């Protein structure tokens, strides 16, 4: 679970970074749209800046996809562990039920033996001298 929490935090950080880059790009475009005249140097600098921003955004998308892949792996591992835990729990419950059944069978057998002994004693006329015991 800790691994999943860590990669989810990384995913959130990657999303925040991507959002910040997109906001920065939008702010630059908004600022450029307010300019009425461009000299060739300003235009070239703006195009270079926007190109760098596009590259940074694309690189951050790659980071985000890589982190999302790790999130998927961590989730799958957590699901596998949970399923294994449930399977082991069912096995334990079955073992306990079988042990209880065996104990109940032993107890029933002991009770049957005692009843048989009582029946034999009664049939013999109580020769042991223990009339008060049923």
Token output for 114: 């005692």
pLDDT in tens, 56-114: 999 999 999 999 999 999 999 999 999 999 999 999 999 999 999 999 999 999 998 89
67 Cβ contact list (under 8 Å, min separation 6): 7, 10, 11, 14
Q: What percent of the chain has pLDDT over 70?
A: 93
Token output for 28: 């630059």
pLDDT of 121 higher than 90 = no
17 Cβ contact list (under 8 Å, min separation 6): 60, 63
pTM of the predicted model as reported, rounded to 2 decimal places: 0.63
SS3 100: helix
pLDDT of 132 higher than 90 = no
pLDDT in tens, 24-49: 999 988 888 887 777 888 888 888 99
pLDDT recorded at residue 123: 86
Every domain of the chain and the residues it spans: 2-93
**Residues 61, 64: Cα–Cα separation, whole Å:** 5
CB-side neighbour CA atoms (13 Å) of 33: 6
């Amino acid at each position: 679970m800790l691994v999943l929490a860590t990669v989810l935090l990384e995913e959130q950080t990657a999303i925040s970074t991507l959002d910040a880059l997109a906001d920065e790009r939008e702010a630059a475009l908004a600022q450029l749209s307010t300019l009425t005249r461009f000299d060739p140097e300003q235009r070239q600098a703006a195009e270079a800046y926007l190109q760098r921003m596009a590259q940074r955004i694309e690189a951050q998308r790659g980071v985000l996809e890589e982190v999302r892949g790790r999130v998927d792996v961590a989730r799958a591992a957590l699901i596998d562990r949970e399923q294994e835990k449930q399977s082991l729990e069912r096995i334990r419950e079955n073992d306990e039920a079988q042990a209880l059944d065996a104990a109940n069978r032993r107890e029933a057998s002991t009770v049957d033996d005692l009843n048989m002994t009582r029946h034999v004693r009664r049939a013999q006329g109580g020769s042991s001298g223990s009339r008060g015991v049923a």
